[in-house]
Structure formats: structure tokens, C-alpha cells
Amino acid sequence: MTNLVVNFDTLHQLYRAYMPFIKPAGLFIGSTDGFVLGQSLSVVYRLPGTTEKMQFEGSVVWINPLGAPGGRPAGIGVKIVSEPDMHKHHIEQLLSHELSSSDLTCTM
């Protein structure tokens, strides 16, 4: 299993990384490393405004290669597998005002 560490320093970074269309929840993680669909990951992340680190097990469900269309960054979309509702709640609570934004994200 691959281990990743991600820090979301701003709400804008978190908004661009959140993937609400992945059910039950997903996050985009910028990376130029090679991943394959279905790959299992362990992700440690920190949300904006906190020092607490959270952790989940996930799987790769999306890949943006280098040079992706629309200037989107290289990286992967990770479906949150372990305790997805808890992670989704924490993320959406922070993004409650941002979720209706029309700003582009890292994936769509």
C-alpha cells in the first residue's frame, strides 16, 4: 500500500481538491508519481486552519496525467474507503460556502 501525506493550507486548495461526485467521498491529490486505477493508498491529510492530521484508506479512481487538458494539474482522485462519512462531513463543513461556487476544480 502506498502512503501519501497532503496538507490543504487554504479553503481554496481544499475546494479545488474535493470530489463530491465520487461516492461516498473523494479527494484529488496532486502528484507526478505513477499510479494505476484501483491502487490502494493510505492518505494522511491536514485541513485548513487545523494542526490535526486525519487518515483514511482509499483507492485511485481518477488520474490526471502530466499535460492534462484545461491546464489541470497532474495527480490522482482518491475514493475515501475508510470512514468516508466522517471525512466527508469534516470537509463539507469547511466548504459549506464554497460548494456552490462555479470556480474550476482540479478535475472538472
30-68 pLDDT, tens per residue? 999 999 999 999 999 999 999 999 999 999 999 998 888
For residue range 64-105, what is the model confidence (pLDDT) as tens digits? Answer: 988 888 888 999 999 999 999 999 999 999 888 765 565 655
Query: Which contacts qualify for 97-100: CB closer than 8 Å, 24 or more apart?
Result: 98/11, 98/12, 98/15, 99/15, 99/20
Q: DSSP characters for 20-71?
A: TTSSS-EEEEE--S---TT-EEEEEEE-TT---EEEEEEEEEEEE-TT-GGG
- For residue 29, pLDDT over 90 is answered with yes
Q: Confirm if 19 and 40 have CB atoms less than 8 A apart.
A: no
pLDDT at res. 70: 80
Q: What angle do CA 83, 47, 68 make, to 5 degrees?
A: 90
Could you give the CA distance from residue 103 to residue 108 in angstroms, rounded to a whole number?
Answer: 10
Alpha-carbon gap, residue 3 to 64, rounded angstroms: 19
Q: What percent of the chain has pLDDT over 70?
A: 90
Report pLDDT for 7.
97
